[in-house]
A = this chain, B = another copy of it.
Amino acid sequence: MIGYKTLAVPGPTNMPFEIRQAMDVALEDHRAPDFPEFTKPLLEDVKSIFRTTEGRVFLFPGSGTGGWEAAITNCLSPADTVLTSSFGQFSGLWVEMCSRFRLNVLNYDLDWGEGVPLDLYRRRLEADKHHEIKAVLGCHNETATGVTSDIAGIREILDDLGHPALLFVDGVSSIGSIEFCMDAWGVDVAVAGSQKGFMMPTGMTLIGVSQKAMAACEKALHSSCYFDFRDMAKANDQGYFPYTPPATLMRGLRASIDMMHREGLDNVHARHKHLAEGVRAATRAWGLGNCARRSTLYSDTVTAVVVEPGFDANRIIQAAYHNYGVSLGAGLGKVAGKVFRIGHLGWLNEPMVLQALGGVELAMRDCGVNFTAGSGVGAAIEHYTDRREPLSLAAE
């Protein structure tokens, strides 16, 4: 392949040089006397990205799937009841995992493009007078459809009803990019991944755990040692780990957090929104649809673009990849062939988004899609320049 690839999937993302360099080091002894001087501030500072001071954040070698499993195996026991909803590939997989762990799953299976059904959740929780429901699951950002759900809304329901269920949130493609307030929203287990908003390589899951969730571990019949929160907490308190930690990724995380702090987390979120709106303007200019049903559901980290009925979206993805080295996200499961996805998260600015949109236009032209060349890119450019002050670079 000649020239750089254009990485426009919703994770992994474009990795900043600063993070790449931070990890480009000799391996280190994770039992060294001064290792805690590195790990303790890291474990403290990562909490700011989850916006928690009450809870703690654990770092496991793993993926988001590991984070889902950690939530279940630490806090629940077989046959426990959970309230869930599925409206996309990833929300659906977590629900399926609940079944495999032999939980009693109360699931709302919704159209893809929908989000967490607050009304249905409220009704079901209201009906749960005996508090059989031990945990409520919410997918904050469904990566397959580009839908962001209202997690604060779930908390409001639980609080209104005085329901003690734990709140588990999949924040893999939201935390670090979209506003996420673990404490304010009363999230008990929040699952994140290194390769999304944290702009790092794959291989680490970051799990925010509230004190309430830690307490729940005491009663749960654990079925994992690897993901055991209590083992991890005990070792972390000394600045160490119960087994070999992903030290190289942790060096990257240090850089990632420092970068987010420097930009300011609010600015990070605002930048994602700003860039996402350009992508949505392009989509409209192309005359194509957004898989998310309503504008209130639009995700600021990924847009699933719906192609014309009958047209196979995978042709665009193939053309983009093979002809121009542009990686777009494919439609998964129920929307396979119906959408292509543009990831717009992480270490990104306006020209980088224009590169991705330009790549889409090249591919659509190669596939004979009917649109005006430059129209999508132009719409994004108009959006980006209609503001008084350019956003992204002013931030640092």
Contacts and interface: CB of A to CB of B under 8 A. Distances in A.
A247 interface: yes
Interface stretch (A40-48, A80-88, A377-385): A377-385
Interface in A339-396: 347-352, 354-359, 361-362, 365-366, 372-379, 381-382, 384-385, 390, 392-393, 395-396
Interface of A: 1-7, 9, 11-15, 17, 20-21, 24-34, 61-66, 69, 73, 97, 100-101, 193, 195, 201-204, 222-227, 242-249, 263, 271, 318, 321-327, 329-330, 347-352, 354-359, 361-362, 365-366, 372-379, 381-382, 384-385, 390, 392-393, 395-396
Contact of A249 (B33, B203, B223, B323): B203
B224 A393 contact: no
Closest 8 CB pairs between A and B?
A374-B378, A354-B358, A3-B349, A12-B27, A355-B355, A374-B374, A203-B246, A365-B385
A263 to B, nearest CB: 6
24 contacts: A1-B393, A2-B349, A6-B351, A13-B27, A15-B26, A17-B25, A27-B195, A27-B201, A27-B202, A33-B321, A61-B202, A61-B246, A63-B226, A64-B243, A64-B244, A65-B243, A69-B226, A100-B225, A324-B349, A324-B392, A352-B355, A361-B377, A373-B379, A374-B381
B2 A202 contact: no
A7 B29 contact: yes
Contacts of A326: 351
A32 B321 contact: yes
A201 B251 CA distance: 12
Contacts of A1: 349, 393, 396
A362 B351 contact: yes
Contacts of A351: 3, 6, 324-326, 355-356, 358-359, 362
